[in-house]
Amino acid sequence: MRVLIVEDDPMMQLGLEQVLSDCPDITLVGIAEDGYLGVEAAKEKKPDIVIMDIGLPRLDGIAATKQIKEILPEIRVVMLTSHTAETEVLASLSSGADAYCVKGASVDSLIVAIQAAYEGATYLDPQVARLVMEHLKPPTPQTTNLGTLSPRELEVLKLMVEGKSNPEIAEALYLSPNTIKTHVRGIMNKLAVDDRVMVAVVALRSGLV
């Protein structure tokens, strides 16, 4: 696994370097000290994993993650931060982060998060998992239009749950990105949610996919 660190704290940088150097399956390809440099480094080095802090100079980690995911959606992002407030956690996930770790957690937890993200899974630190699940509880079927999704919307929904970006969905279904954007908006309206993370949770819990 090729890993890029985006972290402005020199002590955290050293600590992460040491942790990663002890893992034979991980190669550190670079360190960036702010979000802007992190995006540039991701474009240049194309790592498998980016370990991203939130509180970064110039461009925060949430905005940097969003930019990286828009440019290179195949890159997996692991948030490693001291932030545990609901707004930061949910904004991170909505920006496309694949894992969320809290600084101070065990080294093993970080390695598990990196491995999970690399394999295409989502990892949430236990400190924030309950908060996220409480927030993402889907509306009851009585308040949504679960049965009104068209066959095409169900196809799009399945690919969304798989973590595909709009361009990837468009390519898979031989449709234009604008058409996919329209379908995604329609799905969100029918499921009464306002971001892709919540779409996935409602779909999975409701048995739609």
What confidence tens digit (pLDDT) does each residue in 168-191 have?
899 999 999 999 999 999 998 888
| R_g over Cα of the chain | 18
Of the chain, the percentage scoring pLDDT greater than 90 comes to: 47
Per-residue pLDDT at 196:
75
Question: Which is higher by pLDDT, 140 or 35?
Answer: 35
Confidence band for 193, pLDDT divided at 50, 70 and 90? confident
- Which own/partner contact pairs does 98-103 have at CB distance under 8 Å and 24+ positions apart? 98/122, 98/123, 99/123, 99/124, 100/124, 100/125, 100/128, 101/125, 102/127, 102/128, 103/12
Mean pLDDT of the chain: 85
pLDDT at 157 over 50: yes
Per-residue pLDDT at 142:
41
Express each pLDDT in 48-98 by its tens digit.
Answer: 999 999 989 989 998 999 999 999 999 999 998 887 676 777 778 778 888
Per-residue pLDDT at 135:
58
pLDDT at 131 over 70: no
Per-residue pLDDT at 140:
47
Go through 117-133 and write b for each residue having 16 or more CB atoms within 10 A of its CB, e for each that does not: bbeeebbbbeebeeebe
Of the chain, the percentage scoring pLDDT greater than 70 comes to: 87
3: helix, strand or coil: strand
